[in-house]
Amino acid sequence: MFQKRQEEGKTKPGDTYAPLRRKPGLRPLPGEELGLSARLTFWDVLHYLARGLALSQRGASHGLAEHWGSLKYCQALSADAETHLKVPKEGKRIAMYYRVPQSVELGQAFALAISEEILTHRYTGISIVRADTALSAGWTLTSRDKAKTKTVGYQYRPQFFAEVWKPGDSSRVFPIACKGNHSDRRKVYEQLASSAVYADGVHIGAWDETPALLFSTEISLSDPLTVHVLQADGPGGWLHIPDDAPAADIGLPVGDENPAVGIFEPGCPVGPRYYEWFQRALARVGAAGLTAFAGDGESTAALLTARQGSDFFQGFAHAAAGSIHDARYTLLGEEFEGTDHVFRLNGERVQAFSGVAKDILDALLTRESEERSADIAAYRQRVHAWRTKPNGTFWDDKWDGVVSISRDGTVLAMRQIAPFQNE
């Protein structure tokens, strides 16, 4: 790698080569976890991608609807009943022009879906949160951040965290590093090796004991889609909290803590002093992901700190990208609130609705005029109770469309709607 950078003129006189640190102890996922295949619908994949994009803050405007970016993949994959997901003719055409974003974003979607399937076999409560948003609560990740603190100085971090938890208990964190490609098996090996560097950027507790999940999704243009998984099954990752800590403490503000940025090795280490604080940070980012998915910018901003980009979710929303929390539907007998979007697919008008179960969202709504603030403890209790309900993809006759319901109480529903009538 150093030789390649020299050839490309990207090094300076005096630069030396230092091998990148990689996650140790990696091994294939045991076959008894999921077997050789996992059952997912295409709509579930879109749902996971939308949830993963909700806090991405990548749009040029101040729109909240980052997650609507998932809809561009409505025709990227296809499968008949009881078959594997493949790239159809339309998906190949998309790949010609959007190969890199398609491989990156679909790689993330499948990584999140498979991560939740894996961890659900081991634990009861799981939340997926964007790693950079959570880490920004305490660390200045890049020189572009406005915080006047020392930057981490290390660009390699996992893209997501999976937090497994029960209300009032210690939780455990699994960093998730994920990539995707349209190439071949050789590229898969390169991506898994690269992901091992990203996964090692965060350590919780003792060094080299944090578990992790690494993914490379092979999006072949001719063969079925394949997700390659490695795991580091370390004993760490636990955010130990005192047994007598009140459950309501999970809702305490995260403040402006500044943990060390890596004394001996670069990265973001979470030591015992910061276990409770980091658990609160994860809980708030998980909650913010739900309110963003429902289109509520005010509540999302209230859950994030300035360093986490709370201002992004306030103020003007561009008409082409904004979301407003103003849609309410009963789907499969459950009440959901959120936001909707109407677009055209092959000339047909399609409505997409993203929302959160009303009882869960009620705990998170923030209204300055009513002096309301989010109740994180109540939110965690309600999400934990929700996990006993059915999840997956269903057809709702009353909605007249497909409905994907997740274990965290979010929903992505789509249906064809009638064209405008000329009066």
Q: Mean per-residue pLDDT for 183-203?
A: 95
String of DSSP letters for 101-158? HHHHHHHHHHHHHHHHHHHHTT-S-EEEEEHHHHHTTT-B-STTS---S-B-------
Cα end-to-end distance, the chain, whole Å: 65
Q: CB under 8 Å, gap of 24 or more: what pairs does 45-48 form?
A: 45/73, 45/77, 45/85, 45/106, 45/109, 45/110, 45/113, 46/70, 46/71, 46/73, 46/74, 46/109, 46/404, 46/412, 47/404, 47/406, 47/410, 47/412, 48/109, 48/110, 48/112, 48/113, 48/116, 48/406
Percent of the chain exceeding pLDDT 90 equals 57
Q: Mean per-residue pLDDT for 83-90?
A: 74
Q: What is the C-alpha separation between 162 and 365, in angstroms, rounded?
A: 24
CA-wise closest residue to 84 among 184, 225, 181, 218:
225
Two tokens, residue 192: 């898994």
Q: How confident is the model at residue 12 (pLDDT cuts 50, 70, 90)?
A: low
pLDDT by residue (tens digit) across 259-281? 988 766 888 999 999 999 999 99
Q: How confident is the model at residue 87 (pLDDT cuts 50, 70, 90)?
A: confident
Q: What is the C-alpha separation between 363 and 144, in angstroms, rounded?
A: 33
CA-wise closest residue to 231 among 283, 302, 173, 176:
176
Q: How confident is the model at residue 375 (pLDDT cuts 50, 70, 90)?
A: very high
Q: What is the C-alpha separation between 332 and 348, in angstroms, rounded?
A: 24
- Delimit the domains of the chain by residue range: 37-322
Q: What is the reported pTM? A: 0.90
Q: What is the C-alpha separation between 329 and 299, in angstroms, rounded?
A: 20
Two tokens, residue 266: 């670069």
